[in-house]
Amino acid sequence: MSLQLDNVTLSVRGETYIDNACLTLEPGSFNVLLGHTLAGKTTLMRLMAGLDMPDRGTVHLGGRDMTHVPVRQRNVSMVYQQFINYPTLTVFDNIASPLKQAKVSHQEIARRVEETAAMLGIQHLLGRYPQELSGGQQQRTAMARALVKDADLVLFDEPLVNLDYKLREALRVEMRKLFESRHTIAVYATTEPAEALALGGTTTLLHQGRIVQSGPSDEVYRHPCNREAASLFGEPPINLMPMTIRGEECRIAGLHQPLPDVWRSLPAGEYQVGIRPHHWSLQPLDEPAFRLPVIVRVAEISGSETFLHLSHDRIDLVAHLIGIHEFGVDQALEMQVACRQLFVFEPDGDLVLSPSSPRPTLASV
Amino acid sequence: MAEIRLEQLAHSYHGTPSKPADYALRQMDHVWEQGGAYALLGPSGCGKSTLLNIISGLLVPSEGRVLYDGKSVNDLSPQQRNIAQVFQFPVVYDTMTVFDNLAFPLRNQGHSRDRIHQRVREVAEALEIEPLLSRKAHNLTADEKQKVSMGRGLVRDDVAAILFDEPLTVIDPQLKWRLRRKLKEIHQRFNVTMVYVTHDQLEASTFADKIAVMYQGQIVQFGTPRELFENPQHTFVGYFIGSPGMNLLDIVLGSAGIELEGRALPVEESIVAQLRRGGEGRLQLGIRPEFVQLVASEASTLHGQVDLVQDQGTFKIVDVRLDTPSASVIKARLGEEQLVPEGRVGLAFPAAWQRFYRDDRLVEIVP
């Protein structure tokens, strides 16, 4: 059963929460909603679930109009940021609760609870109470309850945000596997671009109540439809600089550059270029490159990577480099980026060019 | 500003602790030097919040002493210790303006009007919140409020240290960058001891010069981000630092050298000899995903199938399932533009990045 939103709009006290959302989610798909806090992710999920009704527009599930069907009459489950479990029930009874409500037989309940618990690695905890569990185990219990009843639609509202970073890493991989063999539509809200990529599936970018772009996650990441999409989907966010094309030459951030071949088809005029932080290089490149003198503001070094915060004139930039590179504050540098890796945007933000397919290098053989 | 020293410090929430597991903090000696930028990193339940609360004076340790510049502060309250704290959720006085929020600690100390104005301006400028000074705090966004919380810690130039307890939790990822960068600049400018508690390794390693990694109530390693990445002293550090963490493989010393599930691994004879001299214990080989090489299958004694590829945008994580009885998974981290081979691959571990652990502790290998 696919879920289809058409022109869904919701305003509360004159403020638009969701603005004309159109979206189709396929059965068995894993869909990430990516956006800042207050972008409308939770509201959109509540509209999908039937917890809120839209002012305008329709919600169809499997071709049936569900717009005004309340949540109780839909087969939907939801997992929240805060782990919600019944404190007086064991893990088994917590997971079993939706099946008991649906009057499933005892044998069938036992079978499905054990199967779901095993999938989430909590089968040894079925006799315990929620307060005897760690945060990660509690959230797995809440997830198991959402998954046990074979809902048409499962909604996850930033479910991993209160967990340790390492647990999150493990649970993300599990989530992918859990949904691979199901017909359920999964929707997963997050503020973290890396999480959207790690979860795979499709990504829908939300900003100020609007859907900016939707599609397979890697495609949205590599071919954002506009500047806003490129900025939303990237951490640290994409670097932006003004660019002008005049005849055979161009200027980026005021610096003359020979016109890269890939840009020859572009009409003269004003543009913006976008550079992903990890595409900057400190070393000279053996291909046409854009070179930019910069000043180091601060170098953040993690164990294996360096994040350089830079400025050129009054433009702030970030470079994400592999390896450890120590620089003093205010040190002058020249950074390079391959021309083929530059994004080009219209002045109004629409994408003109995204980086051409990468020059593949073989895995070290 | 102060050096903070922990002397034979331990803490138990039990009245009569009898075994190591009864301790939230196991006995430790540790020094935070004056003016350093430190992080206290670990999973939930590792004891890092307990340790922070003992340093600040919110909690009295059941054993040992906390010394500020050589003087015991065990009996002093947080106020008397002159500690500034920034918590997960910003603590600001909503009805006051930003200026009054920042001026509050100075007014309490009876500073002159001129001095207060000068200091508030200076801190507001450093935090880039000058345009907000006349605004009421309740209208601010979460990150602006958190800057005001930080500012209140910075206005006093006599604080012994500023302690941060997961200060970026409620901040959007896109803003975290700016705030973290600000914090780093502030540290460079104000020369104050800062201890930053987090479970996020990226936050810890980008903020701190040195990180104390905590696990089961102990500091298992205290080092620079680079040391933690390159030379984890404990398997937990290998696992916890790095994304994904270090691959850890059980090995045995067989007649032919090092064996992994019956397969001989090419390891230098001098290393094998040193491992043999070390005595009993569980032996593991550690190799970070960044250093695992995928090679032609005839070029290695260790093989597996590519099981899963996660495209993370800037890099790819490749799971290789070994064709050994345990079918364990080795993770390799490849660049965005590196091609992932399909099907059966060989695995190579460069000698420079092999690490060996006996009962979870790094075995020091002398070259």
Q: Please list every residue in chain A whose beta carbon sits closer than 8 Å to the beta carbon of residue B221.
A: none
Q: H-helix or E-strand containing B203?
A: helix B201-207
Domain total for chain A? 2
Q: Please list every residue in chain B whose beta carbon sits closer than 8 Å to the beta carbon of residue A302.
A: 201-202, 205-206, 225, 229
Range of the domain at A314: 239-353
Do B226 and B247 lie in a common domain?
Answer: no
- State the best of B175, B177, B293 to mutate against chain A, taking most chain A CBs within 10 Å: B177
Per residue, the 3-state secondary structure of A225-244, as one string, reads: CEHHHHHHCCCCCCEEEEEE
Contacts of A72 (CB under 8 A, 6+ apart): none
What's the confidence (pLDDT) of residue B1? 66
Residue A244 has pLDDT above 80, yes or no: yes
Q: Which residue of A has its CA nearest to B318?
A: A363
Please write the tens of the pLDDT for every residue from B175-228: 787 788 788 888 888 888 999 999 888 889 888 999 999 999 999 999 999 999
Do A280 and A191 lie in a common domain?
Answer: no
Do A105 and A153 lie in a common domain?
Answer: yes
Please write the tens of the pLDDT for every residue from A135-189: 788 888 998 999 898 899 999 999 888 777 788 888 888 788 778 878 899 999 9
Residue at A360 is within a domain:
no
What's the confidence (pLDDT) of residue B321? 96
Residue at A11 is within a domain:
yes
Cβ-in-10-Å burial (0-12, 13-18, 19+) of A212 comes to buried
Q: What band does B73 get if pLDDT is binned at 50, 70 and 90?
A: very high
Range of the domain at B278: 243-362
Residue B117 has pLDDT above 90, yes or no: yes
Q: Please list every residue in chain A whose beta carbon sits closer than 8 Å to the beta carbon of residue B226.
A: 301, 303, 324
Closest CB from A191, A198, A358 relative to B173 = A191
The domain boundary residue, chosen from B198, B232, B266:
B232
* Residues constituting chain B: 367
Could you tell me the CATH number of the domain that includes residue B176? 3.40.50.300
Closest CB from A167, A192, A320 relative to B314 = A320
Q: What is the mean pLDDT of chain A?
A: 91
Q: How far is CA A295 from the centre of its chain?
A: 31
DSSP B208-267: -SEEEEEETTEEEEEE-HHHHHH--SBHHHHHHSSSS--EEEEEEEETTEEEETTEEE--
B298 inside 8 A of chain A by CB: no
E strands, A97-184, in order: 153-157
Q: What band does A357 get if pLDDT is binned at 50, 70 and 90?
A: low
Residue at B342 is within a domain:
yes
Q: Tell me whether residues A360 and B293 touch, CB distance under 8 A.
A: no
Do A212 and A263 lie in a common domain?
Answer: no
- Give the separation between CA A288 and CA A290, rounded to whole angstroms: 7
Q: Which residues pair with B322 in a beta bridge?
A: B304
Residue at A343 is within a domain:
yes
Q: Tell me whether residues A235 and B173 touch, CB distance under 8 A.
A: yes
Do B31 and B138 lie in a common domain?
Answer: yes
Residue at A363 is within a domain:
no
What's the confidence (pLDDT) of residue A173? 81
- Give the separation between CA A357 and CA A62, rounded to whole angstroms: 37
Q: What percent of chain B has pLDDT over 70?
A: 100
Residue A363 has pLDDT above 50, yes or no: no
Do B250 and B225 lie in a common domain?
Answer: no
Residue B138 has pLDDT above 50, yes or no: yes
Residue at A75 is within a domain:
yes
Q: What band does B49 get if pLDDT is binned at 50, 70 and 90?
A: confident
Region at B337 (left for phi over 0; alpha for psi -120 to 50; beta for the rest): alpha
Do B250 and B159 lie in a common domain?
Answer: no
Do B197 and B248 lie in a common domain?
Answer: no
E strands, chain A, in order: 3-12, 15-25, 30-34, 56-61, 64-65, 76-79, 153-157, 185-190, 202-207, 210-216, 239-246, 249-252, 255-258, 269-275, 289-301, 305-312, 315-322, 332-338, 343-345, 351-353
Please, which residues 112-151 of chain B have a Cβ atom closer than 8 Å to chain A?
A: 142
Q: What band does A302 get if pLDDT is binned at 50, 70 and 90?
A: confident
Do A70 and A106 lie in a common domain?
Answer: yes
Do B49 and B161 lie in a common domain?
Answer: yes
Do A155 and A281 lie in a common domain?
Answer: no
Average pLDDT over residues B111-132: 93
Do B147 and B125 lie in a common domain?
Answer: yes
Residue at B237 is within a domain:
no
Could you tell me the CATH number of the domain that includes residue B273? 2.40.50.140
Average pLDDT over residues A96-121: 92
Please write the tens of the pLDDT for every residue from B302-342: 999 999 888 888 899 999 999 999 999 999 999 988 888 88
What's the confidence (pLDDT) of residue A278? 95
The dihedral of CA A292, A295, A300, A304: what is its sign?
Answer: positive
Do A154 and A267 lie in a common domain?
Answer: no
Do A228 and A243 lie in a common domain?
Answer: no
Q: Tell me whether residues B312 and A197 touch, CB distance under 8 A.
A: yes
- Give the separation between CA A239 and CA B26, rounded to whole angstroms: 46
Do B114 and B207 lie in a common domain?
Answer: yes
Q: Tell me whether residues A303 and B43 touch, CB distance under 8 A.
A: no
B201 to chain A, minimum CA–CA distance in Å?
8
- Give the separation between CA B223 and CA B215, rounded to whole angstroms: 15
Average pLDDT over residues A263-285: 94
Q: What percent of chain B has pLDDT over 90?
A: 62
Backbone angles phi, psi at B114, to 5 degrees: -60, -45
Q: Are strands A255-258 and A249-252 parallel, antiparallel or unpaired?
A: antiparallel
Q: Tell me whether residues B199 and A361 touch, CB distance under 8 A.
A: no
Do A277 and A342 lie in a common domain?
Answer: yes
What's the confidence (pLDDT) of residue A7? 97
What's the confidence (pLDDT) of residue A359? 47
Is the ipTM above a cut-off of 0.85? no
What's the confidence (pLDDT) of residue B101? 95
Contacts of A240 (CB under 8 A, 6+ apart): A227, A231, A272, A273, A274, A345
Report the range of poorest mean pLDDT among A90-94, A104-108, B54-58, B176-180: B176-180
The domain boundary residue, chosen from A189, A216, A232:
A232
Average pLDDT over residues B230-249: 95
